Amino acid sequence: MIRKLKTNWQAIALTVVVIISLVLSWIIWTNPFPYEGARHENFSNSQSQQFTPQSMGDVYLPTKAIQTGKDGRQNQLFSQKANLVLSVKKQLQGWKLGRTSIVKRDNSDVYLSYLRRRNSLMLTYPDEIPSSVFNETFSQAIDTARVGQINHIVIPLNGQREIYLLSDHRYGVYQVRVSKGSTSKVKRLLAPMKKIPVDHKIINGTAVMMYPRSFELPVIGYQITSQNIDNLSASLMSTSQHTTITANRSGNETIYTDGTNKRLIYNRSIGTMKYENYLSKDDRESTSLIYPHFYTKLTKIGIPLDNIRYDSASAHGRRLTYRSYVNGFPIFNNNEYGEVTMESTSGGNERYWMSLYSLQVPLPINHQNVKLPSSTEVINQLHATNRLKDVNNLRLGYAWKTENKNHRTVKLVPTYFVKYRGHWVEYTYLEK
């Protein structure tokens, strides 16, 4: 027996390799999801550079997926292993959307019925986006003159040949015909997802998603990377003219100038920066092109975009905020780590606010779950503190907790956040 093994060891080894290869191939081909961790980045000690840059459509993706069953029960879907919204996006890019028509406007009851439409999947943006961005994201050509802004995409799962685009502004409901496309693959993507019960309501004229029961979410660990401020300042201050960049220290701040119209203020103590570029009014970007304009700026700066998503628009659509997301939930930090705000004023000035720190790769962490109360309990607690009157929004997300002074690892802890007097804070902060 041993003699036969020695004689045929090469054939046996080849057979083992082939079997292992077939097993690995089967695992890869039968997994329908693109893992978020599959996009790797190349990091050095001084500078980070993206290996696979996010497309504009990836940065402006919806962030929440809501499944409504035939019985009307709604659940937010999420997974630590799979990016469901990205997978659905790839399916919809193969569809062909046709004629668009208005179903209803200015009727909150009808609007709520579409937010709760039975047997459907709804993809929700954290804030409104122009229909032109929807077209770019999903490779479509819907009528942008008819549909202005979009907050939700409702996909019926019963074989109907249309989808619905919803706009919170004036409770707009638009029907879009589907001339090519099937929901069969979309439905298969939903099966392995984890679920959190949710419900939609119209509160004080605003469409709000509520969490009617308590639930649990995991604590997540991440290693983070830090951009080099000298490389970042050179990228932002570079110009076709031959100018010299100067750096002057003042307390915790270093101020970079190029002698013309650009300035960068870097706070060394917390790793954040503000960039200003004073343009003429004629050189400012038009409001309709702000979204692609800022995406282009993000890619040129070199910020790692793997976890970055569009989060909100303000100042009449001329200020956009981008935020780090994990498993479809936004991440908040007191120092605004993992956040980028970009503004183009009507007068022509362009300003960016950002930090040097970005999420890099997930870290193994002891399995921990945090039990969170229902959103009704949170609202009642805020009402008891007499601060509810200064709160105008509530979201479920993750708090960025620095694990050490070197900012090399962070713990992401699930909790509720409220917008209190214009700033996002943990709801427990208002109980103090």
pLDDT at 315: 80
Lowest-pLDDT range of 47-51, 168-172, 184-188, 293-297: 47-51
Q: What is the pLDDT of residue 15?
A: 52
DSSP symbol at 82: -
Q: What pLDDT, in 10s, does the model give residues 187-224?
A: 999 999 999 999 999 987 889 999 999 999 999 999 98
pLDDT number for residue 98? 93
Cα dist. 374→78, 159, 430 in Å? 18, 34, 17
**277 burial level (CB within 10 Å; 0-12, 13-18, 19+):** buried
Which residues share a beta bridge with 209? 200
Tell me the pLDDT tens digit for each residue of 265-308. Answer: 999 999 999 999 988 777 778 888 999 999 999 998 888 898 99
How much is the average pLDDT of 168-193? Answer: 95
Helix axes 290-301, 131-138, angle to 10 degrees: 50
State the burial class of residue 274 (Cβ atoms within 10 Å of its Cβ: 0-12, 13-18, 19+).
Answer: middle
- Backbone φ and ψ for 283, nearest 5 degrees, come out as -90, -5
Cβ atoms of 257 and 246 closer than 8 Å: yes
Q: Angle at CA 218, nearest 5°, toward 215 and 224? A: 145
Reduce the DSSP state of residue 160 to 3 states and report it.
coil
The amino acid that residue 29 corresponds to is W
- Give me the chain's average pLDDT, please: 86
